[in-house]
């Protein structure tokens, strides 16, 4: 596939610039408190949901006992509103003692004992967005050292209450300060989101050298409108953003809100599919104690996760935007495989979209298709017209295996590869797949 080859070469040339801490060679996965639990600090009236060590312990228990950790969801990330309003007598950040009585090191140990990792939140500026103590330039070293002493595994570094000049100094300084602690700490930079997400204000080459992931755009909210708005921004700017991503350096369209209140099951599959195409970090922000089995099965879909985690780390692109409201997204994967998403912006009824792999620029051959959400498989020649039925605000997602390079006809004779033959007359595939 020539598209794959072109993108691969450009990704490799930028690839030498990844932050050299050895972390996040595939997009990080886990859980992050913000979208679902925000700045709820009212433990007196809302003990189950307030930002406290109990919330993170509950989520760690769910991740390790409900099959999440084995799939790669290993980060448990604290967001804003964890800190005490005052630094300690040595000038260090400290957690709110009422809500985190065991302290952060104990919480980190709790995660590590279960094969999980702990993430924490800071802010390049005088205050965090929620008004807690920030990390201005003169506090960067001490805060990096504090996080390392606590054995934290990841830092999300927000950007409220600082200007462009301070951010230009602060984000690289924090990268160096984290490195100087000697502890590998994943580094998530909100910097580009504060500078409009695009060049010339944002230098993605530089970001790839200093951060493992970065928020390019505004915060996600619990609604389809918000998901769609984020998708549109990322794919309208895909030519800028795709080369920025690669192993160790990821664009971050923000959290998965699957399992919350705002998305239907179709919309949830759509978010999972597009985040996989984007090679996005997969941080769920939901309540794993009460999540529905439907939302859980979407988030635990092994094929979607394996597409997201493909080792080549090439971010996918939108290849078609039809007037009918159907978009097609494509991501090249290792071993010449690829992923396709047919996405509907329509609001009426399932739409029957007709195309062929050839029209999507696949080279001549017979491809094995695995439908990610229905788990059906089929074989499809590049030239065969097919129809996919795409639900309103939903997706059909395919994992596409490249034609094998061997003489399949021969293997087929041996009876080993039924349904994966090159013979013309084997291509009697029904034109409609649901
Ligand atoms: C710090 O940076 C150096 C040079 O880039 C790298 O070799 C090393 O692994 C880094 N250490 C940590 C803890 O990130
Ligand atoms: C940014 O903030 C610093 C510290 O408050 C100030 O000295 C500097 O003038 C500001 N720069 C701009 C461009 O606003
Ligand atoms: C962007 O950053 C890179 C690496 O730090 C640097 O070499 C390059 O000159 C920067 N580009 C611009 C336009 O500032
Ligand atoms: C297929 O390739 C042609 C020629 O490079 C290009 O014009 C067209 O946009 C591509 N179509 C898709 C769906 O990528």
Q: Is residue 7 part of a domain?
A: no
Name the residue at shortest CA distance from atom 10 of ligand 4. Answer: 361
DSSP H stretches of helix in 150-213: 164-180, 191-194, 204-210
Domain boundary pick from 308, 340, 369:
308
- Looking at residue 428, its pLDDT comes to 36
- Both 175 and 92 in one domain: the answer is yes
Going by their DSSP bridges, the two strands 317-321 and 377-381 should be labelled as unpaired
Q: DSSP 3-state assignment of 367?
A: strand
Q: Which of 13-17, 143-147, 198-202, 288-292 has the lowest mean pLDDT?
A: 13-17
- Which pairing describes strands 282-284 and 29-32: parallel, antiparallel, or unpaired? parallel
Query: Would you say 11 and 279 are in contact if contact means Cβ atoms under 8 Å apart?
Result: no
Q: In what order do the strands lie in the sheet with 29-32?
A: 250-252, 213-215, 186-189, 154-158, 117-123, 75-77, 29-32, 282-284
Where residue 142 falls among pLDDT bands split at 50, 70, 90?
very high
Residues contacting 236, CB < 8 A, separation 6+: none
Q: Are 18 and 209 in contact (CB under 8 A)?
A: yes
pLDDT of residue 8: 39
Judge if 252 and 325 occupy the same domain: no
Confidence check: pLDDT of 425 > 80: no
Confidence check: pLDDT of 413 > 70: no
Query: Could you tell me if residue 13 is inside a domain?
Result: no
Q: Which domain holds residue 58?
A: 18-308
Q: 250 and 321 share a domain?
A: no
d(CA 357, CA 207): 36
DSSP bridge pairs for 340: 330, 398
Residue 8 lies in a domain: no
Is 4 a member of any domain?
no
- pTM comes to 0.92
Length of the chain: 434
Sheet holding 377-381, edge to edge: 317-321, 326-332, 338-344, 395-401, 366-371, 377-381
Tokens 């984020």 sit on residue: 230
Q: Is residue 66 part of a domain?
A: yes
Residue 10 inside a domain? The answer is no
The ligand 4 atom at the shortest distance from the C-alpha of residue 360 is 13
Is 161 in the same domain as 228? yes
Comparing C-alpha atoms, which of 286, 351, 288, 281 is closest to residue 322? 351
Report the run of H or E that residue 311 belongs to, with start and end. Answer: none
CATH code of the domain in which 323 resides:
2.60.40.1180
Tens of pLDDT, residues 323-350 = 999 999 999 999 999 999 999 999 999 9
Convert the pLDDT of each residue in 277-302 to its tens digit: 999 999 999 999 999 999 999 999 99
Which of the listed residues 308, 334, 353 is the one where a domain comes to its end?
A: 308
- pLDDT above 50 for 61: yes
**219 assigned to active site:** yes
Tokens of 225: 């409108």
Q: Note whether 295 and 388 are same-domain residues.
A: no
* CATH code of 62's domain: 3.20.20.70
CA–CA dist 389, 383 (Å, integer): 19
343 and 211 inside one domain = no
Q: Are 345 and 304 in the same domain?
A: no
Structure tokens at 83: 């800190």
pLDDT for res 406 = 44
Report which secondary-structure segment, H or E, holds 238.
Answer: helix 238-241
Strand partners, 155: 120, 187
Q: Which residues pair with 249 in a beta bridge?
A: 246
Whether 76 is covered by a domain: the verdict is: yes
Structure tokens at 50: 């307030």
Asked if residue 143 and residue 31 are part of one domain, the reply reads yes
Give the model confidence (pLDDT) of 165-174 as tens digits. 999 999 999 9
Under the banding of pLDDT at 50, 70 and 90, the label for residue 405 is low
Of 260, 276, 308, the domain-final residue: 308
**27 Cα distance to chain centroid:** 6
Ligand that comes closest to the CA of residue 358: 4
Mutate to test the pocket of ligand 4, among 361, 362, 382, 400 (most ligand atoms within 8 A of CB): 361
3-state secondary structure of 288: coil
Does residue 248 belong to any structural domain of this protein? yes
Residue 3 Cα: closest atom of ligand 4: 14
Pocket of ligand 2 (CB under 6 A): 163, 165-166
What are residue 117's DSSP bridge partners? Answer: 75
pLDDT band at 7 (very low <50, low <70, confident <90, very high): very low
User: Does the annotation mark 348 as catalytic?
Assistant: no
End-to-end Cα distance, the chain:
26
Catalytically annotated residue among 158, 260, 327, 337 = 158
Residue nearest to atom 8 of ligand 4 (CA): 361
If one counts the domains in the chain, the total is 2
Mind listing the pLDDT tens digit for each residue in 10-54? Answer: 444 444 568 999 999 999 999 999 999 999 999 999 999 999 999
If asked whether residues 369 and 289 sit together in one domain, one would say no
In terms of domains, do 343 and 295 share one?
no
Give the nearest ligand 2 atom to 163 CA.
Answer: 1
Give me the torsion for CA of 52, 53, 55, 60, rounded to 10°.
160
Q: Are 42 and 88 in contact (CB under 8 A)?
A: no
The answer to whether residues 123 and 266 belong to one domain is yes
Q: What is the pLDDT of residues 62-102, one digit of tens each?
A: 999 999 999 999 999 999 999 999 999 999 999 999 999 99
Q: Are residues 35 and 179 in the same domain?
A: yes
């Amino acid at each position: 596939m020539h598209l794959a080859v072109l993108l691969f070469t450009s990704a490799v040339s930028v690839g030498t610039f990844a932050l050299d801490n050895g972390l996040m060679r595939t997009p990080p996965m886990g859980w992050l408190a913000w979208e679902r639990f925000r700045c709820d600090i009212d433990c007196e009236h809302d003990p189950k949901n307030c930002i406290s060590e109990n919330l993170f312990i509950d989520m760690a228990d769910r991740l390790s006992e409900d099959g999440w950790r084995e799939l790669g969801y290993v980060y448990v990330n604290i967001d804003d509103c964890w800190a005490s309003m005052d630094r300690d007598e040595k000038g260090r950040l400290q957690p709110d003692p009422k809500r985190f009585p065991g302290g952060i090191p104990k919480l980190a140990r709790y995660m590590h004992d279960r094969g999980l990792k702990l993430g924490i939140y800071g802010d390049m500026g005088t205050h965090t967005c929620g008004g807690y103590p920030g990390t201005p330039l003169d506090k960067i070293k001490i805060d990096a050292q504090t996080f390392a002493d606590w054995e934290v595994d990841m830092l999300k570094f927000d950007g409220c209450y600082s200007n462009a000049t301070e951010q230009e100094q602060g984000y690289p300084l924090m990268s160096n300060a984290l490195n100087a602690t000697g502890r590998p700490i994943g580094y998530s930079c909100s910097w580009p989101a504060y500078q409009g997400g695009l060049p010339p204000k944002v230098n993605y080459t530089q970001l790839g050298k200093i951060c493992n992931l970065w928020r390019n755009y505004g915060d996600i909210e619990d609604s389809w409108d918000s998901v769609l708005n984020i998708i549109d921004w990322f794919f309208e700017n895909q030519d800028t953003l795709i080369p920025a991503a690669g192993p160790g350096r990821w664009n971050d369209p923000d959290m998965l809100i699957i399992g919350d209140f705002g998305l239907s099951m179709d919309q949830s599959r759509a978010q999972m599919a597009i985040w996989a195409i984007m090679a996005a970090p997969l941080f769920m922000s939901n309540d794993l104690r009460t999540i529905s089995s439907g939302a859980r099965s979407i988030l635990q879909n092994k094929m979607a996760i394996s597409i997201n985690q493909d080792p080549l780390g090439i971010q996918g692109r939108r290849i078609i935007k039809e007037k009918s409201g159907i978009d097609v997204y494509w991501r090249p994967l290792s071993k010449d495989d690829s992923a396709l998403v047919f996405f509907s912006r329509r609001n009426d009824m399932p739409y029957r979209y007709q195309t062929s792999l050839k029209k999507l620029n696949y080279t001549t051959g017979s491809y094995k298709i695995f439908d990610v959400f229905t788990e059906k498989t089929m074989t499809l020649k590049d030239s065969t017209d097919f129809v996919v039925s795409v639900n309103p605000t939903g997706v059909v997602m395919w994992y596409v295996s490249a034609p094998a390079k061997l003489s399949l006809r021969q293997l087929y004779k041996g009876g080993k590869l039924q349904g994966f033959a090159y013979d013309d007359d084997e291509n009697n595939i029904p034109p409609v797949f649901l």
